[in-house]
A and B are shown apart, each in its own frame.
Chain A
Amino acid sequence: MSDLFRSLITALAVILIPLVIVLFLAWGAAKKVKVYECFVEGAKEGFTTAVRIIPYLVAMLVAIGIFRASGAMDVLVGVLSPVTNLVGMPPETLPMAIMRPLSGSASLGIMTELMKVHGPDSLIGILASTMYGSSETTFYVLAVYFGAVGVKNSRHAVPTGLIADVVGMLAAVWIVRVVLG
Protein backbone atom coordinates (compact mmCIF):
# COMPACT_ATOMS: atom_id res chain seq x y z
CA MET A 1 0.00 0.00 0.00
CA SER A 2 2.64 2.47 1.06
CA ASP A 3 4.87 1.30 -1.81
CA LEU A 4 2.13 1.89 -4.39
CA PHE A 5 1.41 5.32 -2.95
CA ARG A 6 5.09 6.12 -3.00
CA SER A 7 5.70 5.18 -6.64
CA LEU A 8 2.51 6.99 -7.66
CA ILE A 9 3.60 10.24 -6.01
CA THR A 10 7.16 9.91 -7.27
CA ALA A 11 5.91 9.45 -10.83
CA LEU A 12 3.61 12.44 -10.45
CA ALA A 13 6.46 14.59 -9.15
CA VAL A 14 8.59 13.70 -12.17
CA ILE A 15 5.88 14.21 -14.81
CA LEU A 16 4.20 17.28 -13.37
CA ILE A 17 6.72 20.02 -14.13
CA PRO A 18 7.33 19.22 -17.82
CA LEU A 19 3.59 18.71 -18.21
CA VAL A 20 2.73 22.06 -16.62
CA ILE A 21 5.29 23.87 -18.78
CA VAL A 22 4.05 22.39 -22.06
CA LEU A 23 0.39 22.71 -21.10
CA PHE A 24 0.65 26.37 -20.05
CA LEU A 25 2.69 27.44 -23.07
CA ALA A 26 0.50 25.49 -25.55
CA TRP A 27 -2.65 26.90 -23.96
CA GLY A 28 -1.18 30.39 -24.18
CA ALA A 29 -0.30 29.90 -27.85
CA ALA A 30 -3.83 28.63 -28.54
CA LYS A 31 -5.22 31.77 -26.89
CA LYS A 32 -3.01 33.86 -29.22
CA VAL A 33 -0.71 35.02 -26.40
CA LYS A 34 2.76 36.08 -27.65
CA VAL A 35 4.32 33.40 -25.42
CA TYR A 36 7.99 34.31 -25.84
CA GLU A 37 7.56 38.03 -25.22
CA CYS A 38 5.16 37.39 -22.38
CA PHE A 39 7.57 34.92 -20.74
CA VAL A 40 10.49 37.36 -20.94
CA GLU A 41 8.36 40.19 -19.58
CA GLY A 42 7.39 38.11 -16.55
CA ALA A 43 10.87 36.68 -16.03
CA LYS A 44 12.35 40.17 -15.70
CA GLU A 45 10.91 40.39 -12.20
CA GLY A 46 12.87 37.32 -11.09
CA PHE A 47 16.05 39.27 -10.51
CA THR A 48 14.50 42.05 -8.43
CA THR A 49 12.53 39.62 -6.28
CA ALA A 50 15.60 37.50 -5.55
CA VAL A 51 17.76 40.52 -4.76
CA ARG A 52 15.05 42.09 -2.58
CA ILE A 53 15.11 39.18 -0.12
CA ILE A 54 18.89 39.45 0.50
CA PRO A 55 18.81 41.84 3.51
CA TYR A 56 16.04 39.84 5.20
CA LEU A 57 17.84 36.57 4.59
CA VAL A 58 21.18 37.96 5.84
CA ALA A 59 19.55 39.20 9.06
CA MET A 60 17.84 35.88 9.74
CA LEU A 61 20.66 33.53 8.78
CA VAL A 62 23.32 35.50 10.70
CA ALA A 63 21.23 35.31 13.88
CA ILE A 64 20.67 31.58 13.39
CA GLY A 65 24.37 31.06 12.60
CA ILE A 66 25.41 32.82 15.82
CA PHE A 67 22.93 30.75 17.83
CA ARG A 68 24.20 27.51 16.27
CA ALA A 69 27.89 28.25 16.74
CA SER A 70 27.60 29.46 20.34
CA GLY A 71 26.76 26.09 21.88
CA ALA A 72 23.49 27.52 23.24
CA MET A 73 21.74 24.40 21.97
CA ASP A 74 23.31 22.19 24.65
CA VAL A 75 22.23 24.65 27.33
CA LEU A 76 18.68 24.78 25.96
CA VAL A 77 18.47 20.98 25.80
CA GLY A 78 19.44 20.82 29.47
CA VAL A 79 16.72 23.32 30.40
CA LEU A 80 13.96 21.80 28.28
CA SER A 81 14.57 18.07 28.68
CA PRO A 82 12.57 17.68 31.95
CA VAL A 83 9.53 19.14 30.15
CA THR A 84 9.87 17.06 27.01
CA ASN A 85 10.43 13.88 29.03
CA LEU A 86 6.86 14.32 30.30
CA VAL A 87 5.42 13.93 26.78
CA GLY A 88 7.62 10.93 26.02
CA MET A 89 10.08 12.67 23.73
CA PRO A 90 13.54 11.08 24.03
CA PRO A 91 16.07 13.79 25.03
CA GLU A 92 18.31 12.79 22.09
CA THR A 93 15.71 14.12 19.66
CA LEU A 94 15.27 17.47 21.43
CA PRO A 95 18.02 19.24 19.40
CA MET A 96 16.13 18.11 16.30
CA ALA A 97 12.89 19.66 17.55
CA ILE A 98 14.62 22.95 18.41
CA MET A 99 16.66 23.19 15.22
CA ARG A 100 13.97 22.16 12.72
CA PRO A 101 12.25 25.57 12.52
CA LEU A 102 15.57 27.42 12.48
CA SER A 103 17.84 25.71 10.00
CA GLY A 104 17.26 23.08 7.34
CA SER A 105 20.91 22.11 6.96
CA ALA A 106 21.48 21.88 10.72
CA SER A 107 18.44 19.67 11.30
CA LEU A 108 19.47 17.48 8.37
CA GLY A 109 22.86 17.09 10.05
CA ILE A 110 21.25 16.22 13.39
CA MET A 111 18.95 13.65 11.75
CA THR A 112 21.87 11.97 9.94
CA GLU A 113 23.90 11.91 13.15
CA LEU A 114 21.06 10.41 15.21
CA MET A 115 20.57 7.65 12.63
CA LYS A 116 24.26 6.88 12.58
CA VAL A 117 24.40 6.55 16.36
CA HIS A 118 21.03 4.90 17.13
CA GLY A 119 20.22 3.19 13.82
CA PRO A 120 17.58 4.33 11.31
CA ASP A 121 14.97 1.81 12.48
CA SER A 122 15.24 2.55 16.20
CA LEU A 123 12.59 4.67 17.93
CA ILE A 124 14.97 7.64 17.91
CA GLY A 125 15.87 7.15 14.24
CA ILE A 126 12.27 6.94 13.11
CA LEU A 127 11.21 9.82 15.35
CA ALA A 128 14.03 12.04 14.09
CA SER A 129 13.14 11.44 10.44
CA THR A 130 9.43 11.93 11.16
CA MET A 131 10.21 15.23 12.89
CA TYR A 132 12.28 16.28 9.90
CA GLY A 133 9.36 15.52 7.59
CA SER A 134 6.77 17.08 9.91
CA SER A 135 7.77 20.69 9.52
CA GLU A 136 9.37 23.26 7.30
CA THR A 137 12.19 25.64 8.19
CA THR A 138 9.74 28.20 9.60
CA PHE A 139 12.12 31.13 10.09
CA TYR A 140 13.72 30.71 6.68
CA VAL A 141 10.28 30.71 5.03
CA LEU A 142 9.23 33.78 7.05
CA ALA A 143 12.40 35.67 6.10
CA VAL A 144 12.20 34.84 2.41
CA TYR A 145 8.44 35.28 1.91
CA PHE A 146 8.10 38.46 3.94
CA GLY A 147 11.35 39.75 2.47
CA ALA A 148 9.94 39.48 -1.05
CA VAL A 149 7.18 41.98 -0.25
CA GLY A 150 9.13 44.08 2.26
CA VAL A 151 6.98 43.16 5.27
CA LYS A 152 8.62 44.31 8.49
CA ASN A 153 5.67 44.03 10.87
CA SER A 154 4.92 40.31 10.76
CA ARG A 155 1.95 40.56 13.20
CA HIS A 156 0.85 37.07 14.32
CA ALA A 157 3.01 35.15 11.82
CA VAL A 158 5.72 34.13 14.33
CA PRO A 159 3.38 32.83 17.09
CA THR A 160 1.37 31.03 14.40
CA GLY A 161 4.49 29.39 12.99
CA LEU A 162 5.74 28.40 16.44
CA ILE A 163 2.39 26.90 17.45
CA ALA A 164 2.40 24.87 14.23
CA ASP A 165 5.96 23.69 14.93
CA VAL A 166 5.25 22.63 18.52
CA VAL A 167 2.08 20.78 17.45
CA GLY A 168 4.00 19.14 14.59
CA MET A 169 6.75 17.88 16.93
CA LEU A 170 4.27 16.61 19.53
CA ALA A 171 2.19 14.91 16.82
CA ALA A 172 5.38 13.26 15.52
CA VAL A 173 6.16 11.84 18.99
CA TRP A 174 2.56 10.64 19.38
CA ILE A 175 2.21 8.95 15.97
CA VAL A 176 5.64 7.27 16.15
CA ARG A 177 4.79 5.86 19.59
CA VAL A 178 1.46 4.61 18.21
CA VAL A 179 3.01 3.02 15.10
CA LEU A 180 5.85 1.34 16.98
CA GLY A 181 3.50 0.20 19.73
Chain B
Amino acid sequence: MLNYIWLALIAIGVLTAVGIDVRNEIVNPYRNGEILEGEFVPVKQPGALRSEWEGTLVIEGNAFRSFYHTAALVDTVKQMSVLDTTRNTAQLTLVLDGSSPQVWQEMGKSATTVNKLEATLRGIQWADGHTSAHLKFVLEPIRFVRLRAVTQAAFEYAGVAVTIAIGLIGVMAFWLGIMSVAEEAGILKIIARLLAPVMRRLFPDVPSDHPAISAMIMNIAANMLGLSNAATPLGLKAMEELDKLNPKAGTATNAMVTFLAINTGGLILIPATALAVRSAAGSTNPGIIIGTSIVGAGCATLAGIAASKILERLPRYRRAMEVPHE
Protein backbone atom coordinates (compact mmCIF):
# COMPACT_ATOMS: atom_id res chain seq x y z
CA MET B 1 0.00 0.00 0.00
CA LEU B 2 2.87 2.34 0.79
CA ASN B 3 4.04 1.59 -2.76
CA TYR B 4 0.82 2.91 -4.28
CA ILE B 5 0.58 5.98 -2.04
CA TRP B 6 4.18 6.85 -2.81
CA LEU B 7 3.73 6.44 -6.52
CA ALA B 8 0.42 8.33 -6.41
CA LEU B 9 1.98 11.34 -4.63
CA ILE B 10 4.73 11.60 -7.25
CA ALA B 11 2.51 10.86 -10.26
CA ILE B 12 -0.30 13.22 -9.18
CA GLY B 13 2.31 15.88 -8.42
CA VAL B 14 4.11 15.70 -11.76
CA LEU B 15 0.92 15.32 -13.82
CA THR B 16 -0.74 18.30 -12.09
CA ALA B 17 2.40 20.35 -12.67
CA VAL B 18 2.39 19.45 -16.39
CA GLY B 19 -1.34 20.17 -16.59
CA ILE B 20 -1.05 23.58 -14.95
CA ASP B 21 1.96 24.53 -17.09
CA VAL B 22 0.21 23.50 -20.31
CA ARG B 23 -2.85 25.49 -19.28
CA ASN B 24 -0.61 28.47 -18.55
CA GLU B 25 0.83 28.22 -22.06
CA ILE B 26 -2.71 28.65 -23.42
CA VAL B 27 -4.14 31.14 -20.92
CA ASN B 28 -0.85 33.06 -20.61
CA PRO B 29 -1.46 34.38 -17.08
CA TYR B 30 1.99 35.97 -16.97
CA ARG B 31 1.33 37.88 -20.22
CA ASN B 32 4.49 36.65 -21.94
CA GLY B 33 5.42 38.85 -24.89
CA GLU B 34 2.81 41.54 -24.20
CA ILE B 35 3.66 45.22 -23.74
CA LEU B 36 3.20 46.80 -20.31
CA GLU B 37 3.41 50.56 -19.72
CA GLY B 38 4.51 52.51 -16.66
CA GLU B 39 6.17 55.67 -15.35
CA PHE B 40 9.78 55.50 -14.25
CA VAL B 41 10.80 57.99 -11.55
CA PRO B 42 14.61 58.07 -11.15
CA VAL B 43 16.16 58.23 -7.68
CA LYS B 44 19.82 57.84 -8.62
CA GLN B 45 21.29 59.09 -11.89
CA PRO B 46 24.07 57.39 -13.80
CA GLY B 47 27.48 58.60 -12.60
CA ALA B 48 31.14 57.87 -13.08
CA LEU B 49 30.89 54.49 -11.36
CA ARG B 50 27.57 53.27 -12.68
CA SER B 51 25.86 53.52 -16.00
CA GLU B 52 22.30 52.69 -14.90
CA TRP B 53 19.39 54.74 -13.64
CA GLU B 54 17.93 53.56 -10.38
CA GLY B 55 14.36 54.44 -9.50
CA THR B 56 10.77 53.49 -8.98
CA LEU B 57 8.50 52.05 -11.61
CA VAL B 58 4.97 53.32 -11.02
CA ILE B 59 1.95 51.59 -12.53
CA GLU B 60 -1.68 52.54 -11.83
CA GLY B 61 -3.50 49.87 -9.82
CA ASN B 62 -6.29 49.62 -12.37
CA ALA B 63 -3.95 49.35 -15.33
CA PHE B 64 -1.95 46.66 -13.56
CA ARG B 65 -5.04 44.67 -12.67
CA SER B 66 -6.51 44.73 -16.13
CA PHE B 67 -3.15 43.74 -17.63
CA TYR B 68 -2.86 40.63 -15.45
CA HIS B 69 -6.64 40.06 -15.19
CA THR B 70 -6.38 39.92 -11.43
CA ALA B 71 -8.63 41.25 -8.69
CA ALA B 72 -5.98 40.85 -6.01
CA LEU B 73 -4.17 44.19 -6.08
CA VAL B 74 -5.76 47.57 -5.36
CA ASP B 75 -2.86 49.96 -4.65
CA THR B 76 -0.66 51.65 -7.20
CA VAL B 77 2.37 49.49 -7.95
CA LYS B 78 5.66 51.06 -6.87
CA GLN B 79 8.51 48.80 -7.88
CA MET B 80 12.21 49.35 -7.27
CA SER B 81 13.94 48.95 -10.62
CA VAL B 82 17.12 49.62 -12.56
CA LEU B 83 17.13 51.15 -16.05
CA ASP B 84 20.12 50.56 -18.29
CA THR B 85 20.08 52.71 -21.44
CA THR B 86 23.70 52.17 -22.46
CA ARG B 87 23.10 48.92 -24.32
CA ASN B 88 21.70 48.65 -27.84
CA THR B 89 18.28 47.66 -26.55
CA ALA B 90 17.61 49.37 -23.26
CA GLN B 91 17.01 47.00 -20.33
CA LEU B 92 14.81 47.39 -17.29
CA THR B 93 15.38 45.16 -14.27
CA LEU B 94 12.71 44.82 -11.59
CA VAL B 95 14.34 44.06 -8.24
CA LEU B 96 11.63 42.11 -6.41
CA ASP B 97 11.03 41.94 -2.67
CA GLY B 98 8.17 41.23 -0.28
CA SER B 99 6.35 44.43 -1.23
CA SER B 100 6.26 43.61 -4.94
CA PRO B 101 2.92 42.53 -6.46
CA GLN B 102 2.02 38.86 -5.91
CA VAL B 103 2.14 38.01 -9.62
CA TRP B 104 5.65 39.39 -10.00
CA GLN B 105 6.87 37.59 -6.89
CA GLU B 106 5.49 34.37 -8.33
CA MET B 107 7.15 35.06 -11.69
CA GLY B 108 10.43 35.98 -9.95
CA LYS B 109 10.75 32.44 -8.63
CA SER B 110 11.07 31.07 -12.16
CA ALA B 111 12.97 34.02 -13.68
CA THR B 112 16.49 33.72 -15.15
CA THR B 113 17.88 35.36 -12.02
CA VAL B 114 15.73 34.48 -9.02
CA ASN B 115 13.74 37.46 -7.70
CA LYS B 116 14.75 39.68 -10.61
CA LEU B 117 12.60 40.23 -13.67
CA GLU B 118 14.36 41.45 -16.81
CA ALA B 119 12.41 43.52 -19.33
CA THR B 120 13.23 44.66 -22.84
CA LEU B 121 12.22 48.26 -23.55
CA ARG B 122 10.03 48.93 -26.56
CA GLY B 123 9.76 52.67 -26.02
CA ILE B 124 11.05 55.37 -23.70
CA GLN B 125 9.93 59.01 -23.49
CA TRP B 126 11.75 61.25 -21.02
CA ALA B 127 9.96 64.20 -19.48
CA ASP B 128 11.84 67.52 -19.36
CA GLY B 129 14.92 67.44 -17.15
CA HIS B 130 14.87 63.65 -16.84
CA THR B 131 12.53 63.79 -13.83
CA SER B 132 10.48 60.89 -15.13
CA ALA B 133 10.08 58.68 -18.16
CA HIS B 134 7.16 56.88 -19.78
CA LEU B 135 8.25 53.30 -20.48
CA LYS B 136 6.86 50.60 -22.74
CA PHE B 137 8.41 47.23 -22.02
CA VAL B 138 8.05 43.46 -22.35
CA LEU B 139 8.97 41.29 -19.39
CA GLU B 140 11.04 38.14 -19.89
CA PRO B 141 8.82 35.14 -20.70
CA ILE B 142 7.95 32.98 -17.69
CA ARG B 143 7.30 29.34 -18.53
CA PHE B 144 6.98 25.96 -16.76
CA VAL B 145 6.58 27.51 -13.33
CA ARG B 146 5.17 24.37 -11.71
CA LEU B 147 7.58 21.89 -13.28
CA ARG B 148 10.50 24.01 -12.13
CA ALA B 149 9.02 24.17 -8.64
CA VAL B 150 8.53 20.38 -8.61
CA THR B 151 12.15 19.72 -9.56
CA GLN B 152 13.40 22.21 -7.01
CA ALA B 153 11.21 20.69 -4.28
CA ALA B 154 12.47 17.17 -5.06
CA PHE B 155 16.10 18.17 -4.52
CA GLU B 156 15.33 20.40 -1.56
CA TYR B 157 13.39 17.72 0.30
CA ALA B 158 16.05 15.08 -0.37
CA GLY B 159 18.41 17.40 1.49
CA VAL B 160 15.89 18.04 4.26
CA ALA B 161 15.55 14.28 4.84
CA VAL B 162 19.27 13.96 5.49
CA THR B 163 19.27 17.03 7.75
CA ILE B 164 16.47 15.51 9.84
CA ALA B 165 18.24 12.15 10.10
CA ILE B 166 21.61 13.69 11.00
CA GLY B 167 19.89 15.90 13.59
CA LEU B 168 18.51 12.74 15.18
CA ILE B 169 21.94 11.19 15.82
CA GLY B 170 22.67 13.13 19.01
CA VAL B 171 19.35 12.68 20.84
CA MET B 172 19.13 9.15 19.51
CA ALA B 173 22.51 8.23 21.01
CA PHE B 174 21.63 9.95 24.29
CA TRP B 175 18.33 8.13 24.82
CA LEU B 176 19.67 4.79 23.69
CA GLY B 177 22.45 5.24 26.26
CA ILE B 178 19.96 5.98 29.04
CA MET B 179 17.77 3.08 27.94
CA SER B 180 20.73 0.73 27.97
CA VAL B 181 21.45 1.63 31.60
CA ALA B 182 17.75 1.22 32.45
CA GLU B 183 17.68 -2.20 30.83
CA GLU B 184 20.84 -3.34 32.63
CA ALA B 185 19.38 -2.14 35.95
CA GLY B 186 16.06 -3.93 35.40
CA ILE B 187 14.00 -0.71 35.34
CA LEU B 188 12.41 -1.54 32.00
CA LYS B 189 10.98 -4.78 33.41
CA ILE B 190 9.41 -2.90 36.32
CA ILE B 191 7.76 -0.34 34.00
CA ALA B 192 6.49 -3.13 31.77
CA ARG B 193 5.00 -5.01 34.73
CA LEU B 194 3.06 -1.91 35.92
CA LEU B 195 1.09 -1.57 32.71
CA ALA B 196 1.08 -5.25 31.79
CA PRO B 197 -2.73 -5.73 31.77
CA VAL B 198 -3.26 -2.95 29.20
CA MET B 199 -0.25 -3.84 27.09
CA ARG B 200 -1.16 -7.54 26.97
CA ARG B 201 -4.48 -6.64 25.33
CA LEU B 202 -2.92 -4.21 22.87
CA PHE B 203 0.07 -6.36 21.96
CA PRO B 204 -0.88 -10.01 22.53
CA ASP B 205 2.12 -11.23 20.47
CA VAL B 206 4.70 -9.51 22.69
CA PRO B 207 5.78 -11.25 25.95
CA SER B 208 4.87 -8.91 28.80
CA ASP B 209 8.40 -8.71 30.21
CA HIS B 210 9.99 -7.98 26.84
CA PRO B 211 12.05 -4.74 26.59
CA ALA B 212 9.81 -3.68 23.67
CA ILE B 213 6.89 -3.21 26.07
CA SER B 214 8.66 -0.70 28.31
CA ALA B 215 10.17 1.15 25.35
CA MET B 216 6.67 1.51 23.89
CA ILE B 217 5.23 2.69 27.21
CA MET B 218 7.93 5.31 27.55
CA ASN B 219 7.49 6.41 23.93
CA ILE B 220 3.74 6.83 24.40
CA ALA B 221 4.24 8.72 27.68
CA ALA B 222 6.80 11.06 26.05
CA ASN B 223 4.46 11.63 23.11
CA MET B 224 1.53 12.52 25.36
CA LEU B 225 3.68 15.08 27.16
CA GLY B 226 4.82 16.53 23.84
CA LEU B 227 8.48 15.58 24.39
CA SER B 228 9.23 14.71 20.78
CA ASN B 229 13.01 14.80 21.34
CA ALA B 230 12.62 11.86 23.70
CA ALA B 231 9.67 10.19 21.96
CA THR B 232 11.26 9.46 18.57
CA PRO B 233 14.42 7.72 19.90
CA LEU B 234 12.33 5.70 22.36
CA GLY B 235 9.89 4.79 19.58
CA LEU B 236 12.72 3.66 17.29
CA LYS B 237 14.15 1.62 20.16
CA ALA B 238 10.73 0.02 20.59
CA MET B 239 10.58 -0.78 16.87
CA GLU B 240 14.00 -2.44 17.02
CA GLU B 241 12.89 -4.52 20.00
CA LEU B 242 9.66 -5.46 18.21
CA ASP B 243 11.71 -6.46 15.18
CA LYS B 244 13.60 -8.99 17.31
CA LEU B 245 10.27 -10.84 17.65
CA ASN B 246 9.59 -10.55 13.91
CA PRO B 247 9.51 -13.98 12.21
CA LYS B 248 9.73 -12.34 8.77
CA ALA B 249 12.30 -9.53 8.48
CA GLY B 250 11.26 -6.63 6.25
CA THR B 251 7.54 -7.15 6.94
CA ALA B 252 5.55 -5.20 9.54
CA THR B 253 4.18 -7.30 12.42
CA ASN B 254 0.74 -6.82 13.99
CA ALA B 255 2.34 -5.31 17.08
CA MET B 256 4.30 -2.78 14.98
CA VAL B 257 1.14 -1.61 13.19
CA THR B 258 -0.83 -1.23 16.43
CA PHE B 259 2.09 0.65 17.96
CA LEU B 260 2.25 2.98 14.94
CA ALA B 261 -1.51 3.50 15.11
CA ILE B 262 -1.10 4.81 18.67
CA ASN B 263 1.81 6.97 17.54
CA THR B 264 0.13 8.49 14.48
CA GLY B 265 -3.06 9.12 16.46
CA GLY B 266 -0.97 11.82 18.09
CA LEU B 267 -2.68 11.96 21.47
CA ILE B 268 -1.00 14.84 23.24
CA LEU B 269 -2.11 16.44 26.50
CA ILE B 270 -0.88 19.93 25.66
CA PRO B 271 -0.72 20.79 21.94
CA ALA B 272 2.12 23.25 22.54
CA THR B 273 2.75 24.24 18.91
CA ALA B 274 -0.89 25.02 18.17
CA LEU B 275 -1.17 26.98 21.47
CA ALA B 276 1.91 29.04 20.59
CA VAL B 277 0.59 29.89 17.15
CA ARG B 278 -2.80 30.85 18.59
CA SER B 279 -1.23 33.14 21.18
CA ALA B 280 0.98 34.71 18.55
CA ALA B 281 -2.08 35.34 16.37
CA GLY B 282 -3.66 37.27 19.26
CA SER B 283 -6.21 34.74 20.48
CA THR B 284 -8.23 35.73 23.55
CA ASN B 285 -8.65 32.08 24.50
CA PRO B 286 -5.79 29.97 23.15
CA GLY B 287 -6.49 27.14 25.62
CA ILE B 288 -9.91 26.32 24.16
CA ILE B 289 -8.28 23.82 21.80
CA ILE B 290 -6.73 21.70 24.57
CA GLY B 291 -10.01 19.89 25.19
CA THR B 292 -11.06 19.70 21.55
CA SER B 293 -7.63 18.37 20.50
CA ILE B 294 -7.71 15.65 23.15
CA VAL B 295 -11.15 14.55 21.91
CA GLY B 296 -10.03 14.63 18.26
CA ALA B 297 -6.76 12.81 18.84
CA GLY B 298 -8.42 10.40 21.28
CA CYS B 299 -10.97 9.40 18.61
CA ALA B 300 -8.17 9.07 16.04
CA THR B 301 -6.12 6.85 18.36
CA LEU B 302 -9.05 4.59 19.25
CA ALA B 303 -10.05 4.32 15.58
CA GLY B 304 -6.44 3.49 14.68
CA ILE B 305 -6.17 0.75 17.30
CA ALA B 306 -9.53 -0.71 16.25
CA ALA B 307 -8.60 -0.54 12.56
CA SER B 308 -5.25 -2.25 13.17
CA LYS B 309 -6.96 -5.07 15.11
CA ILE B 310 -9.64 -5.59 12.45
CA LEU B 311 -7.42 -5.24 9.38
CA GLU B 312 -4.79 -7.66 10.71
CA ARG B 313 -7.37 -10.44 10.40
CA LEU B 314 -7.94 -9.87 6.68
CA PRO B 315 -6.63 -12.82 4.63
CA ARG B 316 -4.38 -10.69 2.44
CA TYR B 317 -2.56 -9.19 5.41
CA ARG B 318 -2.35 -12.56 7.17
CA ARG B 319 -0.81 -14.14 4.11
CA ALA B 320 1.87 -11.45 4.03
CA MET B 321 2.96 -12.59 7.47
CA GLU B 322 3.26 -16.30 6.65
CA VAL B 323 6.79 -17.67 6.80
CA PRO B 324 7.54 -20.12 3.98
CA HIS B 325 8.42 -23.61 5.25
CA GLU B 326 11.89 -24.76 4.49
**Residues of A bordering B, CB below 8 Å:** 2-3, 5-6, 9-10, 12-13, 16-17, 20-21, 24-25, 27-28, 30-31, 33, 35, 38-47, 49-51, 53-54, 57-72, 75, 101-102, 108, 111-112, 115-116, 119-121, 125-126, 129-139, 141-142, 144-146, 148-161, 163-165, 167-172, 175-176, 179
Contact = CB atoms under 8 A, between A and B. Distances in A.
A175 B291 CA distance: 9
20 contacts: A61-B160, A63-B13, A64-B157, A69-B13, A72-B17, A115-B278, A115-B281, A125-B278, A129-B274, A129-B293, A131-B296, A133-B289, A145-B235, A145-B236, A151-B252, A154-B2, A155-B320, A156-B317, A160-B308, A168-B265
A155 B317 contact: yes
A54 B162 contact: yes
A180 B206 CA distance: 43
Contacts of B70: none
Interface stretch (B48-56, B87-95, B123-131, B299-307): B299-307
A119 B91 CA distance: 44
A152 B250 contact: yes
B2 A28 contact: no
Nearest to B226: A13
Contacts of B292: 126, 130, 133-134, 172, 175-176, 179
Interface in B196-252: 225-227, 230, 232-233, 235-236, 239-240, 242-243, 246, 249-252
Given A66-B14, A66-B150, A120-B286, A33 B184 contact: yes
Given A54-B161, A65-B156, A156-B311, A70 B227 contact: no
Interface string B1-29: 11001100110111011001000000000
B38 interface: no
Contacts of B174: 43, 46
Interface in B279-316: 281-293, 295-301, 303-304, 307-308, 311-312, 314
A139 B161 CA distance: 13
Given A120-B278, A167-B300, A168-B299, A145 B287 contact: no
Given A27-B187, A33-B184, A111-B274, 5 more contacts: A50-B168, A146-B239, A151-B252, A153-B252, A168-B266
Interface stretch (B60-68, B97-105, B136-144, B256-264): B256-264
Interface residues of B, number: 110
A141 to B, nearest CB: 5
A141 B262 CA distance: 11
Given A49-B236, A58-B161, A130-B289, A10 B295 contact: no
Interface string B158-175: 101110111011111111
A59 B185 CA distance: 39
Which 3 A-B pairs rank lowest in CB-CB distance, beginning with the nearest?
Answer: A42-B180, A46-B173, A134-B296
A164 B185 contact: no
A39 to B, nearest CB: 4
Contact of B265 (A40, A121, A135, A149): A135
B321 interface: yes
B176 interface: yes
Contacts of B289: 126, 129-130, 133
Contacts of B146: 69-71
A28 B304 contact: no
A43 B175 CA distance: 7
B154 A146 contact: no
A62 B157 contact: yes
B270 A49 contact: no
A158 B4 CA distance: 10
A136 B292 CA distance: 15
B186 interface: yes
B264 A138 contact: yes
A97 B239 CA distance: 28
A176 B269 CA distance: 17
Contacts of A159: 1, 307, 311
